[in-house]
A and B are shown apart, each in its own frame.
Chain A
């Protein structure tokens, strides 16, 4: 059995309510590590988790995305780079940016693109609401989990 998104969300709630910044959960089936803040960056190289099995790798991937949604003090939710690469605000060169400050977005709205290893990866807003800040510049090289923009969730 795999860890479902609901499981992860419940665990996240526990973490949110706790005074700790980090939670490590290890069972026979999986190993889960949750951190309140983004992982420290180490230049452009990214060391991946190699000890965990593919199954555990799968389990940790979801919470990383969910943990990234943790709200900031001002009530906005960061939109983070899904992977290391070059951030582009527009779907193609010369086209208007996907979103601007003030744009209304849904979970699935594509707010930009991260180019990694010659592949264009869409960045979804992940939160329904209004874009309040765009923090990464067009063409900027970003680490995984780098905050690209902020969204104020719709009530």
Chain B
């Protein structure tokens, strides 16, 4: 066991701030590794120290393995927390940390390799007895055409090194397969430095349900499920816990499958197993495992009362789990909305810029995870997440009503945000009923667009 006293945060934005908060409560000193574009950000003001790791483009700062490790060694930290995205699931980085004598806050290198490569993850899932969606690897247009014919359209092109929905595209007809493949490979290369992709059958009317796991390498427990079906182009927009309208039997089977997979890997750390769930048919398929803290972790924290970053740090220090499955209890319902700098009126075009106003709601059962304040810059180099608004109430109905109020009490200007759009979605009758599938938001947006033109 190695107690962490000083920790380097190799990330930015709200998650950097989130990690700083837990470190402060644990008495861990923080060093923030920031790019030149983030030197005047809110996280730099809350971290005990900030070290510049390079120019704004991620490849030369947040994705620069040697640069981040050099910053960690220079500031004599015990550990590196990679947050989500960037180097969080990069096995080469985790290995480099280990060689440099640094604790990597995440699973071990072999586990990162097993689940970071989506094809290997599929193989592991099959080995553990989990159901998977038909598909396979492709390296060329010819491969893709052959496999595409076999599994049929619509299908999905997914990045092998993917995650977070990047490099994943839907192909509706065989004619557009080749060009979609190129674009997916391009995005995968830019986001993960690995352009390999694979195809999977697109399952219509599926819900995205995921299970939060925590393991210490021996014991693996689950912290319940989340529903992240409200997505646009595979980017999650609204998440909630627990998943609504899921029968007790199906929920129990999904939890058990996730724990089986975690035990098969002898998983150590915080991780999420994602499933595609056909709730009407009572069936589910393994999608992938994310070996990191996730954007939507707060909804699980709200209903379990746990600090997931603290648990993640504890197992990285080599401590056995402090909680057994029987210690986990769920209370109430939590919803999270992602406020992004994007223009819903212009095909969700990103809207970088400088914030002029930032007013967030407050009150009982309201949580805001954000690095945004007036005068904050929203650089064009990174993702468009401005804030996560979370509400927690005894019932789902109350949590959604609280979210409507919270969104109405939110003011962000200087960049264009999706706050108004989120308010409309949260008030929609289908969404309020609960259990919408991943195709629902796309259809809703088309309908909303039609109304706008007619009006």
- A residues near B (Cβ < 8 Å) are 2, 44-48, 50, 54, 57-58, 61, 82-86, 88, 91-93, 95, 113, 115-121, 141
Contact = CB atoms under 8 A, between A and B. Distances in A.
Contact of B350 (A2, A45, A50, A116): A116
Contacts of B351: 48
B189 interface: yes
Residue among A44, A93, A119 with the highest chain B CB neighbour number at 10 A: A119
B349 A45 contact: no
A116 B56 CA distance: 12
Interface in B310-348: 341-343, 345-346
Given A47-B353, A86-B57, 19 more contacts: A44-B56, A46-B353, A46-B380, A48-B416, A50-B413, A58-B346, A83-B350, A83-B380, A91-B182, A91-B183, A92-B189, A92-B195, A95-B186, A116-B352, A116-B380, A117-B380, A117-B382, A117-B383, A118-B383
B222 to A, nearest CB: 30
B341 A117 contact: yes
Interface string B244-272: 00000000000000000000000000000
14 contacts: A2-B453, A44-B380, A47-B354, A47-B414, A48-B415, A58-B346, A82-B349, A83-B380, A86-B57, A93-B189, A93-B190, A93-B195, A117-B350, A118-B191
Given A119-B350, A120-B190, A84 B185 contact: no
Interface in B146-197: 166, 182-183, 185-187, 189-191, 195
Contacts of B185: 92
A88 B183 CA distance: 12
B59 to A, nearest CB: 10
Contacts of B195: 92-93
Given A47-B414, A118-B191, A54 B345 contact: yes
Nearest to B453: A2
B377 interface: yes
B341 A50 contact: no
Interface string B407-422: 0000001111000000
B186 A45 contact: no
Nearest to A82: B349
Contacts of A121: 349
A120 B349 CA distance: 10
Contacts of B383: 117-118
B382 to A, nearest CB: 7
Question: Mostly helix, strand, loop or mixed at chain B's interface?
Answer: mixed
Given A91-B182, A92-B186, A120-B183, A83 B354 contact: no
B140 interface: no
Contacts of B41: none
A91 B186 contact: yes
B124 interface: no
A45 B356 CA distance: 13
A45 B352 contact: yes
A82 B383 CA distance: 18
A92 B188 CA distance: 9
A57 B377 CA distance: 21
A82 B343 CA distance: 14
A118 B189 contact: no
B305 interface: no
Contacts of A2: 453
Interface string B394-427: 0000000000000000000111100000000000
Nearest to A117: B350
A120 B195 CA distance: 14
Q: Which 3 A-B pairs have the closest CB atoms?
A: A92-B186, A117-B350, A117-B384
B379 interface: yes
Nearest to A119: B350
Interface string B184-220: 0111011100010000000000000000000000000
B186 A93 contact: yes
Interface in B343-382: 343, 345-346, 349-354, 356, 377, 379-382
Contact of A92 (B182, B354, B356): B182
Contacts of A95: 182, 186
A46 B353 CA distance: 5
Contacts of B183: 91-92, 120
Given A91-B182, A120-B186, A48 B414 contact: yes
B285 to A, nearest CB: 27
Contact of A44 (B341, B356, B379, B415): B379
B352 A84 contact: yes
Contacts of B349: 82-83, 121
Residue among A58, A95, A116 with the highest chain B CB neighbour number at 10 A: A116
A89 B413 CA distance: 33
Contacts of A88: 186
A50 B374 CA distance: 14
A151 B343 CA distance: 29
Contacts of A46: 352-353, 380
Nearest to B347: A121
Interface in B72-109: none
Residue among B349, B352, B384, B413 with the highest chain A CB neighbour number at 10 A: B352
Residue among B186, B187, B354, B414 with the highest chain A CB neighbour number at 10 A: B186
A48 B186 contact: no
A50 B189 contact: no
Contacts of A47: 353-354, 414
A88 B189 CA distance: 13
A84 B380 contact: yes
A45 B354 contact: yes
